[in-house]
Amino acid sequence: MSMSETAAPLAEQANDPSFDTVWDELVWRGLVQVSTDQEALREALSGDPLVFYCGFDPTAPSLHLGNLVQLLTMRRIQLAGHRPLGLVGGSTGLIGDPRPTAERTLNTPETVGEWVTRLRAQVERFLSFEGDNAARVVNNLDWTAPLSAIDFLREIGKHYRVGTMLAKDAVSARLKSDAGISYTEFSYQILQGMDYLELFRQYGCVLQTGGSDQWGNLTSGTDLIRRVEGASVHAFGTPLITNSDGTKFGKSEGNAIWLDAEMCSPYAMYQFWLNTDDRDVVDRLKVFTFLTRDEIAAYEALVASEPFRRAAQKRLALEVTATVHGLDATQKAIAASEAFFGRGDLSALDAETLVAALGELPHAELASGTSVIDALVATQLVSSASEARRAIAQGGVSLDGEKVAGDDATVTGSLPGGTSVLRRGKKALAGVFIR
């Protein structure tokens, strides 16, 4: 892959003008799995600016690709003139929404508070805080903490019916599991419903978005507002994204793709998208980029006619990685990817990018002067010293971009950051960090 192949300018963050309404575009992009009245929603999003929100619980120190679906959906609605509220759940994060199989481990208030700060900064990167529809980030701990248990039960709990709560999918699944469900997690839907009510009262918020797996919690809020305020408000849930091959989306080698660069480097992010299956890439372009439907149709045609060029995957990887980490970090990740496979100068890479990228590969920490034979074994590019010698003799091993000619070659960490890159054959790569 040459830089010229990825040199297309990033898509402008704008909604596609070929759609009559943002709702129509959201539906076309496959972002609506379930909703309250669709015609009412379409009309509301076509009218005067409204206030809407999406919540993010600090159950980890970073958001992930599932959250990115919500953040980009929020941005699309904001671009249509509506005002987003990004809710970071300082109180709901102390509990965690019920998982299908088991109770969550409760984190300390100090840990949750630290994660709130980190997630707030991440949410702020994806929304605009300027103009008439400037975004606002809120924390539900602000209105939950001052509320006594008695007040909570009298003012909020009395509006909930246990039979309805038991029927929610997440609760029902847990009741049927061996683990059961605690009163703590059972009450989560009440807290989320209270959030919607509070935002309705404070800001006139009339729309909540989230994942379709959160539908029971989303409707908890719409039902509560109808009971307490006599008002009709909206909600819709995006589908859970799955891969065509049956593997779980958003994970690479079993690890989540986080939005924090320290937890998932720009190089790893770029490679994740670059490896998207042909069967999935068009849908991913719809959900995760601001490319228009005409542009996406052009890439769809290329997938059909020239799949070996992986043009759609390259554009997807460029767009999403740049959206999350910025264009500069993305270009460095692309340069590292090219240099690893002999299409660029390894020594020209900056140390931070090279170290981060090598950390995503099989790697070993070795002393300067270690033989290439031992380094091949240590990085598991070969299973034995004799296999390493055969690979070298066959001309199939390179070190820092240069073919290894003899058994006496050593690794010295001559690349930036005291590193070296080993390659066996065309695709097997490993990193060496000199200690």
Residue 299 burial (CB count, 10 A): 20
**Conformational region of residue 193, where left means phi above 0, alpha means psi within -120 to 50, and beta covers everything else:** alpha
Whether the Cβ atoms of residue 78 and residue 85 lie closer than 8 Å to each other:
no
Put simply, whether the predicted model's pTM sits higher than 0.85 gets the answer yes
What is the average pLDDT across 43-63? 96
pLDDT above 90 (res 195) = yes
- Rounded CA separation 67/92 (Å): 16
- Structural domains of the chain ordered from first start: 31-238 (3.40.50.620), 241-345 (1.10.240.10), 361-435 (3.10.290.10)
Confidence of residue 6 (pLDDT cuts 50, 70, 90): very low
What is the average pLDDT across 406-428? 89
Confidence of residue 34 (pLDDT cuts 50, 70, 90): very high
Q: Which amino acid, residue 374?
A: D
| Residue labelled with tokens 């990685």 | 321
pLDDT above 60 (res 289) = yes
pLDDT above 60 (res 36) = yes
- Rounded CA separation 417/112 (Å): 35
What is the average pLDDT across 172-190? 85
- Rounded CA separation 391/174 (Å): 54
CA 381 to chain centre: 31
pLDDT above 80 (res 4) = no
> Which position has the higher pLDDT, 181 or 229?
229
pLDDT above 50 (res 241) = yes
What is the average pLDDT across 247-263? 87
What is the average pLDDT across 274-288? 97
Position 353 scores a pLDDT of 87
Confidence of residue 9 (pLDDT cuts 50, 70, 90): low
Question: For residue 417, with 0-12 CB atoms within 10 Å meaning exposed, 13-18 middle and 19 or more buried, which class applies?
Answer: middle
What is the average pLDDT across 176-198? 89
**HEC profile of 98-111:** CCCCCCCCCCCHHH
Percent of the chain with pLDDT over 90: 69
